[in-house]
Homo-oligomer: A and B are copies of this chain.
């Protein structure tokens, strides 16, 4: 059975492409991936908090919140 995976972010300009790597890497046979921009879509904040999201970017799946920190490459900051 497919379950939902929700990728929460807030528009970090350096990291967003890399972070979506993770969302795109999930098995499409297992997960429907939804991308939520919490900065724009504040109505979703409560659900994110309830799922255990303490910071963004975060991925919620299988009932657990994973907080992902991508170390921006020097190249990306130039």
Q: List the interface of chain A (C-beta within 8 A of B).
A: 5, 18-19, 21-22, 25-31, 52, 54, 59, 61-62, 64-71, 73
Number of copies: 2
A56 nearest CB across to chain B (Å): 12
CB-CB under 8 A for A61 and B21, given A67-B71, A68-B68, A71-B54:
yes
Taking a contact as CB atoms closer than 8 A, the residue among B25, B29, B66, B73 that contacts A52 in the complex is B73
10 smallest beta-carbon distances between A and B, as pairs: A27-B27, A67-B69, A18-B64, A25-B26, A21-B62, A66-B70, A66-B68, A68-B68, A52-B71, A25-B27
Residues of B within 8 Å of A71, CB to CB, are 52, 54, 65, 67
